[in-house]
Amino acid sequence: MIRRIPEITAERENLRRVRLSPNMHTLRRDPVEPVPVGTVVAKVFRVTGYDSDCDGSLMARLESVGADGDPTGWEPVNLGLYPDTTWVLDDPAELDRLVG
């Protein structure tokens, strides 16, 4: 089954303001795992180009995108795209349609 990662609320992570000194405060939160360790997850990327590997094969340059297609700022490079590990979507919102 495909579903979105659950949102972690401020209450769930115990978000609080902590005094560091009389004139300084910071925010602290307790670490909360969004899903258990070992959970399989998928993130959506757009291919932005290719670079040659040392053997001449192509390695992808990617940019992470949200369901709306807007970039998230993460741009990994030199990743191979293989049929047993990579799926192609017509658009990022296609995952939302699968979830229903």
Summarised one tens digit per residue, pLDDT across range 32-64 is 999 999 999 888 999 999 999 999 999 999 999
Tally of helices (H runs) and strands (E runs) in the chain:
1, 4
- pTM flag (> 0.75): no
Output the six-digit token pair for 32.
């909360």
Q: Is the pLDDT of residue 100 over 70?
A: no
Give the pLDDT score at 3: 85
Measured CA to CA, the distance from residue 100 to residue 90 in angstroms comes to 17
What percentage of the chain exceeds 90 in pLDDT? 71
Q: Is the pLDDT of residue 23 over 70?
A: yes
